[in-house]
Structure 1
C-alpha cells in the first residue's frame, strides 16, 4: 500500500514479485565465473531447482544470459585464464544445472563473442559435441 502511493501500483507489484521470488538472492555472474566451484554449483542448483519438479527455466535463462554478458564484457579488457575456461566448461557439461538449449547458447555466445579468448573450450570433447548439435 505505501509503495503504491509513492511509486505506483505497477512498480510496487513488480518489486514485490521480485522479492517474493528471491531474485535479489541470485548468485552474481562474477561469482559464477570466479568463485569456488562447489559453492557456485550449489548456489545454481538452489536457485534453479535442479532435479526437482520446481525447475525454474526463467531463472536458469536469466543466469545464463548474465554469465554470457559478464564474461564477454570481462574478456574485453582482461585475460581469460584456464580456471575461467574450466568453469564455463563445467557449466556447459554439468548434467544437473542447465538444460541443453542453455548450454548450447552458452558455448555459442562465448565463441561468437570472442573466439580468440574462449577457443580453449573446444579442447573438451563434450563441449565440441554440444556445439555441433
Structure 2
C-alpha cells in the first residue's frame, strides 16, 4: 500500500482553506507585523519586524509552512492513514467497551504519565 497517493482532482475545499489561511503571511509581509493563527486571547501573538525580527520571521515561516502543507493535502492523500482510521472505527464498533476503556481511561493515564516522565527527565 502506498503511503502517499495523488488525488484524481484537487480538492477545492482544502485549497480554499489554504488560500484563506495564506492571507495571514501575506498581510504580515506587506505590513511588517505578523500575527499568529490564534484568535484574540491566549494564543494570539503579534510580532513586529522592527522590534523582534527573529520571532517575526519564525511566525511568517510557520504560517507559510502550514499553508504549503494544506496545499499539499489538496493534491495528495495518505491511503495508509485512511485505512488505519477505518480499522480503528471498525474495532470501535465491534468492541465498544474495550475501545471506550482504552480511549477514556488508558489514554489519559498514559499521557499524564508521559508528561510526568518528561518533566522528571528534563528536570522541569
Into which bin does the TM-score normalised by the smaller protein fall?
Answer: under 0.3
Higher-RCO chain (CA-CA 8 Å, sequence separation at least 6): 2
More helix by share: 1
More strand by share: 2
Structure having the higher Rg:
2
TM-score, normalised via structure 2 length: 0.26
